[in-house]
Amino acid sequence: MTRKKILLVTFLFPPCGGPGVQRNLKFGKYLPNYGIDVFILTVKKVLFYTYDEKLLTELPAENTQVIRTNSLDPQRISWLLKSIFKKSSAQKADKPIKSTAKKSIDDSGWLVKVYRWLRDRFLFPDGANGWIPFALIKGWRVIRQKKIEVLVGSYPGPSNALITYILSKVTRVPYILDFRDGYLDYPYITYPSSFHKWMHARLEKLVVTNASKIVTFGPFLTNRLKDRYGLLDSTFSEISNGFDPDDFKHLEKNTSLKKADEKYRVVHLGNIFLFRKDCFESLVKGFLGLDAEVKKNIVFDLIGNFYQGAKDIVANLGLEEHFIFHGYMDHKKSLAYLVNSDACLILLPENDFAAVTGKIFEYLAVEKPILLVGEPEGGCGQLISKVMDYQTIAHPSDTNAIQQLFINLNLNNWKGPSTVEKNSYSRVSQSGHLAEILKSI
């Protein structure tokens, strides 16, 4: 049987770590099982907030190839300058960052604010625009040499989509867009002017309306794009984020991850950046108001980076023994904490109805109760409501409802989801779905 060859375009890819690289990594891992040869076009090492070299070992030795190019974007230039002037720091960056409770991200610092101000106003379509010419030259060569049959543009970000569109026009190879998050509908983007928003709206229309297929994370984005551009239902397919069954193999109960007091452990996987600040503070204040007898037996394991000041909020309220900031750790180790947890936590800001965060599927995989401080009618809220038999969702502004979540856990003996159809959220079956889409083009 003839194998189909695709080129997947994505700026961020391992060794960059974090949840944002998982979707493309797993497609690269499992699509070859369905007769697809995957060529991944990405950038060489860039300055990023976290690294995980172990992720690259998941890719098969055959039928998946990572092709890296140079770039003149700020992240790549920063990495090169760091490697020149701080060789020892660069060597540390080559290794996975170790877990540390002292690790925080000051995404409110003046340098970060200056960079974002300049990027949002002068770098179009995003901070990776310095990668575009390098990706176009290398992509064109790969398409010709490898006889690529379909292009896959990964979103975020806009540069990925623009590169994919241009390569398709130049080579006449059809393309699909795969949306892990929305573009104009992403709730955490603000445009500095109406002109900037108009430019991005024009780009979204260009790349969406010329794609052979649009793959979205769920019905929210599908309906938005369908209504905005009058596209047919047949243009769209939905592949949610998910979990990889391999990640959970050989992960067993480990008493060393639980303290001797045998308290209930609530795990939050993922970074707590500034846009989650308000809902995190609501969680802390809600927890503070619990009766002492309920509160004393609960500990939060926060796995990931966090904004500057998060620990101070906890310390000022005298809750250090209840909120443990572990910092970033590699994916496998973080899942070990998840397997050994008693409940799982999701924090989503007010008015975020779109997000169906990837961690929710890993939470479903371990079949632990899922707590959400977020919009009850949002994507995550609707999914959790389907699988939990009791109320585990609270609006970010309602500290009384947040308190009730932990009372409900005790009343229901920390019971997990009652009905979980895990196979539909497996990265294996999702890759099979994407393979069908690719073969149909």
Low-confidence ranges of the chain (pLDDT < 50): 89-91, 93-103, 260
In 291-416, at which residue ranges do the beta strands (DSSP E only) sit? 298-303, 323-327, 343-347, 370-373, 393-394
- Amino acid occupying residue 272: I
pLDDT in tens, 325-382: 999 888 888 999 999 999 999 999 998 888 888 889 999 999 999 999 999 998 899 9
- Distance from C-alpha of 334 to C-alpha of 18, rounded to nearest angstrom: 11
Q: Do residues 329 and 301 make contact, with C-beta atoms less than 8 angstroms apart?
A: no
- Distance from C-alpha of 164 to C-alpha of 42, rounded to nearest angstrom: 12
Domain architecture of the chain: domains with CATH: 4-97+124-242+426-439 (3.40.50.2000), 248-422 (3.40.50.2000)
Q: What pTM value is reported for the model?
A: 0.84
Give the HSE-up count for residue 393: Cα atoms under 13 Å, Cβ half-sphere. Answer: 20
Mean residue pLDDT across the chain: 89
Q: Which residues in 76-102 are b (16+ Cβ under 10 Å) and which e?
A: beebbeebeeeeeebeebeebbebeee
Report phi then psi at 41, rounded to 5: -95, 115
Q: Do residues 138 and 41 make contact, with C-beta atoms less than 8 angstroms apart?
A: yes
Residue 51: strand pairing partners:
16
- Which of the 8 DSSP states describes residue 426? B
The arrangement of strands across the sheet holding 4-9 comes to 64-69, 36-43, 4-9, 150-155, 175-179, 213-216, 236-238
Predicted pLDDT at 299 = 95
- Distance from C-alpha of 69 to C-alpha of 414, rounded to nearest angstrom: 49
Give the HSE-up count for residue 418: Cα atoms under 13 Å, Cβ half-sphere. Answer: 8
Residue 154: strand pairing partners:
178
In 150-308, at which residue ranges do the beta strands (DSSP E only) sit? 150-155, 175-179, 213-216, 236-238, 264-269, 298-303
Predicted pLDDT at 418 = 82
Q: Do residues 137 and 5 make contact, with C-beta atoms less than 8 angstroms apart?
A: no
